[in-house]
Amino acid sequence: MDTIAAISTPTGAGAIGIVRMSGEQALCIALRFFTCSTIKSPEDVVPGMLKLGTFFDGSVREKCMMVYFRAPKSYTGEDIVEFHVHGGTYLAERVLGALLAAGAKLAGPGEFTRRAFFAGKLSLDEAEGVRAMISAESEAELREAYSLMSGRFDQKINALMTKLTEVLSTMEASLDYPEEMADEADDSMEKAAEVREEMRALVESFKAGKLIKGGITVAIVGKTNVGKSSLLNRLLGYSRAIVSDIHGTTRDIVGESILHKGVKINLQDTAGLRETGDEVEHIGIERSLAAAKGADVVLYVMEAGGNLDEEEWANIRACSKKVILVNNKIDIYGATERGFNISAKTGEGVDVLLDEILRVTVGDSRAAETLTEERHADCVRRALRSLEEGIAAFHEANTECVLVDLRESIDALAEIGGGTATERIINDIFSRFCVGK
């Protein structure tokens, strides 16, 4: 297999740039350029120890650090060498160019992690956890990514597969000895029913998992001058949207993101809803309604001292399953008994409102395992469908169909960790990695 190399740090200025190389020839190639007073031959290189030396490609001398990880005790399971050079694009690219000229091959997206997968260093879902951790933008995303990367989710899936395998073994025996194994077969189907409920809970968790991964989109809608832009600014903690007493100030969607209790929330301030002859403002209002339809949660803002526009309220509720009525300006009008009472000016009630947004979307995502990857959700859905068909076949006394359905369910779960994943699936997963990881 080729020795591969790539820059592992982001492009641009920085304190340190890391160039990584993996493969049988990694150390040999590295020592063609790296010199150090304590290293005279490859045997002098101590695995896992950073050494300060000089990288010289024939024209440029760079004082840098080199570290060597000997196979199989490395990320990829192969020999790995890393150069830690001064940050900046040019030096790292210069070092990489020298390694490629010496025989290394430029690594493709995710190729280091791909090699780790094929070396048995991590399962396919653990590899996806690596990618998820790199791209995490919130504590909640990081937590779920760690669940994948640490193998905790893999353990959950393996436990389900073990239970189903035990059920399968019992049902195979009952096919040969139907009378003697009748009670055991009934008990096994009870175990299968328990697994079914665990799978259903996992599939249901994907609703929250998608929001954890991409963030909760919240559209702030309502009439003009009810304080929508003021609410956005309060939530952000700085002035982002223009606030004015003039009706129709906001004419387009203003979007920003915040973190609340580790969860990313994507806020959208929208144009105020009213009848208008202004063509530009009318377009903005249409976009407001479109934002409401596409949002995970809609905050319908009104003045606490105003009357609810029942027709408009009904129209907004028709746009989204999750609409929260927000009474703003309680610092002026006082609180009401309807909806949530806040003051965008003073901040009163805003944290309670944010808590409600989390409650109606992700709930307590820490309480149980949560699916965040579409591929995993698809595998569990297919496993659940096959298991449900198997349980139905059992009640119809069709044991042979039960066996087929149980095997299909196990295979679908095994695909999550890569056990039955096709080459196309594996290639697709690693193609979404960055180069150098």
Q: What is the CATH number of the domain that holds 137?
A: 1.20.120.430
User: What is the rounded average pLDDT for all residues in the chain?
Assistant: 89
**Quick one: average pLDDT of 228-236?**
90
**What's the pLDDT tens digit per position in 284-342?**
777 888 888 999 999 999 999 889 989 888 989 998 889 999 999 999 999 998 899 99
Q: Measure the CA angle with vertex 372, ends 366 and 377; round to 5°.
A: 120
**What's the pLDDT tens digit per position in 56-114?**
999 889 999 999 999 999 999 999 999 999 988 889 999 999 999 999 999 999 999 99
My answer on whether 38 and 99 are in the same domain is yes
pLDDT value at position 235?
92
- Which amino acid is it at 52? L
Position 360 in a domain? no
Final residue of a structural domain among 74, 107, 140: 107
My answer on whether 23 and 80 are in the same domain is yes
CATH number for the domain spanning 69: value is 3.30.1360.120
pLDDT value at position 245?
53
Residue 231 has pLDDT above 90, yes or no: yes
What share of the chain has pLDDT > 90, as a percent?
A: 58
Residue 278 has pLDDT above 70, yes or no: no
Residue 430 has pLDDT above 90, yes or no: no
State the pairing for strand pair 297-303/323-328: parallel
My answer on whether 173 and 280 are in the same domain is no
State the pairing for strand pair 254-260/61-69: unpaired
- pTM, two decimals, is 0.79
The parent domain of residue 198 ranges over 127-210+373-431
pLDDT value at position 368?
66
pLDDT value at position 182?
77
**Quick one: average pLDDT of 30-38?**
94
My answer on whether 396 and 344 are in the same domain is no
**What's the pLDDT tens digit per position in 381-411?**
999 999 999 999 998 888 889 999 999 999 9
- Model confidence at 366, pLDDT cuts 50, 70, 90, reads low
- Model confidence at 281, pLDDT cuts 50, 70, 90, reads low
pLDDT value at position 277?
57
pLDDT value at position 211?
92
pLDDT value at position 435?
82
pLDDT value at position 283?
72
Question: Domains in the chain: how many in total?
Answer: 3
What tokens does 22 get?
């993996």
- Measured CA to CA, the distance from residue 352 to residue 367 in angstroms comes to 21
**Quick one: average pLDDT of 413-423?**
86
